[in-house]
Amino acid sequence: MTEAKIREDILSAMRGAGVKLSADILSNCTAIAMNYKLSPDHLVSSWEVYSLNTNAKELNTHTFPSFRTTLLKDAGKSTENTPLNTGTIISRPILGKRPLSPDVIVDSPPRSKSKQTLDISPQTVLVTPSKKDMNSSSKNVSTPSMNMKKLYEDRKNAGQIMASFNPQKLDSLPINNTDNKIKASIAIDPYSKNVPDIYRHLSHQVKQRSDALDDQLNKFQMEMVEQYSIPSNISSQSGTKEESEQQNDVPNMAPLEPTGLPRQSVQTNIGRICNEVHEGKLNSTTILLEGSKQVSNGARIELDVHHLNSSTSSEGEENKLSSYSLFPGQIVAVEGINPTGRKMIVSKITDGFPSQSRTTPSTVSKQEVNSNGMKIWSVTGPYTTNQDLDYRPFTDMLAMIEGERPDVVIMMGPFVDMEQPLLKDGCSVTLDFLDENDQTNTVTKHVSYEALFVAKIARELEYLYEENPDLKTQFILVPSLQDAICDPVYPQPPLQDLLPNGGKILSLFPESDDLPYGCLGLDAVETVSSTNNKASSRTQRIHLASNPSTIDINGVTIGLTSTDSLLHLSTEEINSNLPVGSRLTKLTEHFLRQRSYYPLFPPPSNPNMDVNLDLTKRDFFQMPCKPDILILPSKLACFAKHILGGTVVVNPGHLVRGAAGGTYATIDIHPTKTQDGNNSDRCLTNCMKVDIRRI
């Protein structure tokens, strides 16, 4: 590709993102893209992340040096960590354990089966041992590359706290290893609003998707009219004269009118924000408001928001600047004058409002549970570096869980990441096993993604419980759109076997029972080292939740999604006059005010943010209530903060970032006491301590 073509593509991509480039900056960007083989989309994505983290509005001579440093740093990492083009799975023995690296901080000794340190490198193939030889060493088939940096193994900041939320300066909960410790009670779907099973997706007609959007708008409109006491001329046309006069006495907002109806007086329209242009980012000159088909026949009008930025009113008096934060798909109430029926001069924009907090009492004995508090960990994949498929960060995480013994660990995908370089190019997946007949030879077998999940995830969980039969930690597994073992559609059903009724039996693991094709191997985790053989009375260890999910743990409502909705929203949102440093808080509030885990529509056109959104299943990614804790894992800077008077939003980050270690979140919920000394079900904000730590 010629330099002129690259220059043209970068200029077009940046314009599409609303970024203007001078000739000098464009030349520098072109040179960086050519030298480091970066695509224009990569430059745009890097700028969007940089601008959000630094609050930079323009790419000019003042902001470019810092952006260039960040871009070159990321580009250098990607070139240094380019994996070898091989289809061989880089793995350690499934059943063998390695001791923790020196940087892993735990309060317990390394796991008991660790006998030796294994030499791991992208060119080392490790052999699965049989039960007869649990400590067989790895087989090194080639010389490890000395040029490839092991950023994860060489990390020096393990255990460092990157962000924290602790308004009451609480201490961390102590480790509870007592036998009388009460297991946490988990309700995966307390509202029956999570996706229960696999469904036929993306096969609906355009009208069905349009009706789904319109139904949501109609419901939201009725609730906003009731919540904000908006007088409605729409309903008064069929009502009595007294009803109309009574509605017009409400002083809060102007009367509600159908979108697109010309009026010389101030009116209120409720609709969905749209972008006038189908390509490129929303800006202040391309904002449209789309009304419902039932009330407004789907009419669209242009919104003129420039008056909100004016410091003086039409009479010349000083007027306080009105702030706004808008994005495509957002449902808002807009107040202003629309004399022509085509453009409204906006004087006020009112966002939605959160649902009520859950008040249904939990079925757990919360009096006993709250006496010791509760520890919840939140971890988001990927669980291995981009240099290999060793899954070393995952096993280190399990070792810390073994030492800290939290009550619940929420593990979100991707577990088998399709963005992993060794899997992204479609290379064949192989595992090496010891020959059953000749223990000195190995047998290479092609395996499915599900078999890789069994080897790297399920077997490690199985051995965690085998080595610790009294472990009362429970795991909640949530899939990701990047997972190779489940359908990439949003909302996403829980993890399950590829063939629910079983498939062809494959003898993949000599040391275990035969494994059906497509099996995830999680059933074995439930039964290992269990003294209770009855499934009905046995406490569940692994809980499978959908993406997104609203779950209940000991009466604490937690909303979560493994999709990076926060980053997607940040790339499409526009704002004006927001207080300095408040944009991230405003972005998180949108999820609650729109009552959705993915309020954006349509999804970003950036191929790196592709989301297969099934609108006919919109009810499954709506928030049925206002959660106590909202977990939004994102590539943005990790944080934990309190919003809208009762919800703590946590971005735990990702366990792995490229070839380096990432972060995870620990949430300590202390016993909630009232003034009379009794346990309380609410006021969780004042008894919560959240730390986001490096692995």
Q: Is the dihedral of CA 632, 635, 638, 643 positive or negative?
A: negative
CA dist 248 and 250 (Å) reads: 5
Give the whole-angstrom CA distance, residue 224 versus residue 332.
9
Return the number of other C-beta atoms located less than 10 Å from residue 119's C-beta: 12
Token pair of 681 as six digits: 């079900």
Per the domain annotation, does 172 fall within a domain? yes
Are residue 332 and residue 233 in the same domain, yes or no?
yes
Do 628 and 614 lie in one domain? The reply is yes
Q: Nearest 5°: CA angle at 409, between 407 and 415?
A: 160
Our CA angle for 114, 378, 108, nearest 5°, is: 30
Residues 191, 274 share a domain: no
Q: Counting every residue, how long is the chain?
A: 695
Phi–psi pair at 527, nearest 5 degrees:
-105, -15
- Strands, E, within 482-593: which ranges? 505-506, 515-516, 542-544, 549-553, 556-560, 574-576
Q: Which two tokens stand for residue 495?
A: 């993890």
Q: Residue 67 domain-assigned?
A: yes
Q: Is residue 676 part of a domain?
A: no
Q: What is the DSSP string of 283-319?
A: -TTSEEEE--HHHHTT-EEEEE-GGGG-SB-TTS-B-
Alpha carbon 426 to chain centroid, angstroms: 25
Residue closest to 460 by CA, chosen among 52, 55, 98:
98
Query: Inter-axis angle of helices 64-80 and 23-36, to 10 degrees?
Result: 10
Q: Are residue 211 and residue 195 in the same domain, yes or no? A: no
Residues contacting 326, CB < 8 A, separation 6+ = 273, 282, 287, 332, 349, 573, 574, 575
Q: Exposure string (b/e) for 203-239, b if CB count within 10 Å is 16 or more?
A: eeeeeebeebbbbbbeebbeebbeebebbbbbebeee
| Contact call for residues 660 and 642 (beta carbons, < 8 A) | no
Residue 39, Ramachandran bin (φ over 0: left; ψ between -120 and 50: alpha; else beta)? beta
pLDDT for 299: 95
Residue 392 vs residues 126, 150, 395: alpha-carbon distances, Å? 13, 12, 5
Compute the Cα dihedral for 401, 402, 408, 409 and give only its sign: positive
3-class secondary-structure state, position 51: helix
For residues 292 and 269, membership in a common domain is answered with yes
Which residues are bridge partners to 343 per DSSP? 302
On whether both 178 and 253 belong to a single domain, the answer is no
Decide if 186 contacts 553 (C-beta within 8 A). Answer: yes
| Domain match, 229 and 333 both | yes
Nearest to 687 by CA among 162, 164, 167: 167
Please state, in angstroms and as integers, the Cα–Cα distance from residue 338 to each residue in 324, 426, 548, 689, following that order. 19, 55, 39, 49
How many structural domains are present in the chain?
3
Cβ atoms of 138 and 405 within 8 Å: the answer is no
Q: Are 216 and 345 contained in the same domain? A: yes
Instruction: Please tell me the predicted confidence (pLDDT) of residue 333.
Output: 95
Asked if residue 475 belongs to a domain, the reply is: no
**224 and 280 co-located in one domain:** yes
Asked whether residue 564 falls in the same domain as residue 550, the answer is yes
CA torsion 559→562→566→569, rounded to 10°? -110
**Two tokens at 365?**
């004995």
The tokens for 462 are 């199985």
Q: Quick count: other Cβ atoms within 10 Å of Cβ 122?
A: 21
d(CA 525, CA 457): 10
In a domain, 441, yes or no: no
Residues 186 and 259 reside in one and the same domain: no
CATH of the domain at 344: 2.40.50
Residue 113 included in any domain: no
The pLDDT averaged over each successive group of 10 residues in the chain (695 residues) is 83 83 86 84 84 81 85 64 37 39 40 34 33 33 43 88 94 81 89 88 86 94 92 58 42 86 94 90 94 93 87 45 90 95 94 79 43 90 91 95 95 94 78 71 81 92 92 95 93 85 52 66 83 63 95 94 96 91 94 96 86 92 94 95 92 94 95 55 80 96
Q: Show which of 350, 382, 407 is a domain's final residue.
A: 350
Last residue of a domain, which of 302, 324, 350?
350
Residue 216 counted as domain residue? yes
Cβ atoms of residues 526 and 540 within 8 Å: yes
Tell me the CB-side half-sphere exposure of residue 681, using CA atoms within 13 A. Answer: 16
- Predicted TM-score of the model (pTM): 0.77
The confidence score (pLDDT) of residue 318 equals: 42
| Residues spanned by the domain of 601 | 165-201+359-366+546-653
Task: Compute the distance between CA of residue 371 and CA of residue 369 in angstroms, rounded to an integer.
Answer: 5
Tokens of 670: 């202390």
Distance from the first to the final alpha carbon of the chain: 41
Q: What is the largest CA-CA distance in the chain?
A: 93
Is there a contact between 317 and 585 (Cβ–Cβ < 8 Å)?
A: no
Cα angle: 277, vertex 615, 410; to 5 degrees: 110
In a domain, 509, yes or no: no
Hey, which bits of 529-677 come out as E strands? Answer: 542-544, 549-553, 556-560, 574-576, 629-631, 639-643, 647-651, 656-657, 660-661, 663-669
Q: How many CB atoms lie within 10 A of CB 106?
A: 16
Pseudo-torsion of CA 303, 258, 205, 327, nearest 10°?
30
The per-residue pLDDT for 514 is 59
Are 192 and 221 within one domain?
no
Radius of gyration of the chain (CA): 27
Name residues whose C-beta falls within 8 Å of residue 64's C-beta, 6 or more positions apart in sequence: 25, 28
**Nearest in space to 119 (alpha carbons), one of 142, 89, 103:** 142
